[in-house]
Structure 1
Amino acid sequence: MQEKERERKDRNGKITKLAGCSPIREGVLLIRPDTTLADVRKFGEECQRRWGITPLQIFLHKDEGHWLSGQPEAGDRESFKVGERWFKPNYHAHIVFDWMNHDTGKSRKLNDEDMTEMQDLASDILLMERGQSKAVTGKEHQERNDFIIGKQKEEMKRLDATRQYREHQLEMANKKMQETESITNTLIEKANEKERQSEDLDRAICEKRSRLNKEKGSELLNAAVGWATGKSKALKNEIEDLRCEISTHEETIERLQDKIQTIQNDHSLELMQLEAKHRSELNCKETEHAQETTRLKNRIAWQSHIIGCLSFLLLKTSDIFRKAVHCVIRFARDYYKPHFDTEQVSDIKNALNLFGDDRQSHQAAGNFLYFTARQKGEFDNREQIKARREVDNVVEGNYDQQQKRVFSMRR
């Protein structure tokens, strides 16, 4: 019987919105780790006293949550460490309410102010911090899946920024290494040139020594050899300095290569950790989805059972409702009858009026009447479609318009 708002298109192409009905409604409350069942029961009893909605079931869920991608925030006192990772628990409670006024047969009507007061009441009884109203923050409500997708997009943006920073670091290190290699090659060429000059000088010394021995004797020879030897030593010292500088640049290149290798290893390790993290989160989401699906199926089955019990109770206590259900069953099984007759329409309207005299109450009662007839009559697909269509026509007042046209034609 619990349905969302849906649209219905009639024969003329006109689209009519049908409001949903939910005599059984469920709410979720955030709680503290030390909140007990008695605390939540006290909140439910206060809701019953103020608004007349009766709590049917209360569940406390303290075993759900999610893994954090890093360290918890400074003020977070609920997260705890499991192995090498941090876990953020999601303490909450589920309350199932009976939203129906059994004296009038109508559902309770709560406005926005009542819902705000209910949130304030939960904050006071359960000692929770009250959030800001959306009228103040300007934020719109997000569904659970939209909120998760938004968080995942933010995480992807952060990871992409980290990747770009790592790539920039790697590019700068490669550029610096190329510059250092270029300087080293220049120095090596300069050292080779100095060595060639030293070799040429040594040959010149030998030639001058031989020539002076023949021409001017040992005195001039010693002076020339002293001059040439001093210049040779200066060149050798310069060559030695260049070799030391080359050695220093080679050590710098080795350090840069080690740094690049470390950055690449860290990047690969981070990628592997992120892949493992996403696989783990995906497995957790699939597990949560399966558990949520199972809970929803169990909840739907339980609600169907409750609606079945209400249907059985009305069939036993109300002759008007029982008569309307039986006429819907007989009509659905009649293969050759396309529409309700006048008496059947009257019986169905009497049953609808048990739930109220406004349009929304009639729509809720029509859904409940169809559900009860379908369950009791065990309709096949054709009978379900036929019964659903004609009960909706009674609720929408199409039979009233048809009767007016017939009456005007008779006149």
Structure 2
Amino acid sequence: MTETEAITMPTVRPTPFDPPEDLSRLRETRPISPLAYPDGHRGWLVTGHALARDVLADKRFSARSELRHHPVEEPGQGPAQAAPPGMFISTDPPVHTRYRHLLAGEFTVRRMRRLTERIEEITTAHLDAMKRQGPPADLVETFAMPIPALVIGELLGVPEEESERFQAQGGRMTQMDLPREERIATFLALQAHMKELVLAKRAKPTDDMLSGLTRSDLTDEELTNIGFMLLGAGLDTTANMIALGAFALMRHPGQLAVLRAEPDRIDQIVEELLRYLSIIPFLVRTALEDVELGGELVRAGQSVTISIPAANRDPGRFPDPDTLDLLRPSGGHVAFGHGVHQCLGQQLARVEMQAAYPALFARFPSLRLAVEPDEVPLRTDMLIYGVHRLPVTWDLG
């Protein structure tokens, strides 16, 4: 692989809902392509669905943060470092296995479904507040962000009065253009608040996830970092899926009609929105040894960037993939990753979306954008894609 062969990571989206067009072209012509990283590293970009799953399931590819090169420029990103204790998503087995095992019991499908009633209560309360306030409203601020913030906060045992502070700091952590000094300050402040919470749970346990984990052999540092990671992962991703999904449904009235007509198929509807929107732009793994992948030789030490949106739009796996089809059998998408690192909180995210979408459009049948579609500010400056704001309005009555 020569420098002239390597491309840079495509980032420009043609529409709010479609991935960069260059990703589709690469998937068709070369589903594993040489990639030039901003730090001068030369690695690879995977755009095909089958290859994406192969990399994510292969133990020869590491998730360790100290080995990883980032495919896009992040001004606030410092040098690569090993993950601190508890940040298990950036570790490999057996370290990863220990943490995953401790947390798996907290994120079972059964437990998440038991939360449905409480999630529905939170959703209804915010819809009531929207109705009292009246149109117009920012759907991100009034609905999409506070619901997962309260849910993950209750799971972790974050006091409700602290929820807004955690929410604001967590959001800043995903801002790609945040200067390094501000990123560090935000990280340290959020970490300090989480440590206070961990110590409070040790002193006086309550019925929440952090309190339960204090009974394990995890140290305060490990618990603090686990709580920090779960708060960020459980808040920003789900909030952006709710908001971007609502935006997509309003722009696809035929599919919105499907949502209203087929409430019993909400599970399938959510899976298609996850596939179609794919708000996590990429995952990165690093080869621990030489690996032949898709006819190319990936050398030990080279990073491989997996484009989640490109993989989820692969026509070899999903017929007519660029069409939003809420009745499509969308199983097999990689919106939550794949393999041992597949998102631990995916069932919680699903339950929240399954509650949010039907309730929102049932309460406000005339819900629509309050601005032109191209005036909606997109989160192209953030690690997790979505919208910064979603101005909406509806008919009174």
Normalising to structure 2: TM-score of the pair? 0.19
Rg larger in structure: 1
Whose helix proportion is higher, 1 or 2? 1
What's the TM-score, normalizing by structure 1?
Answer: 0.18
Higher relative contact order (CA 8 A, sep 6+): 2
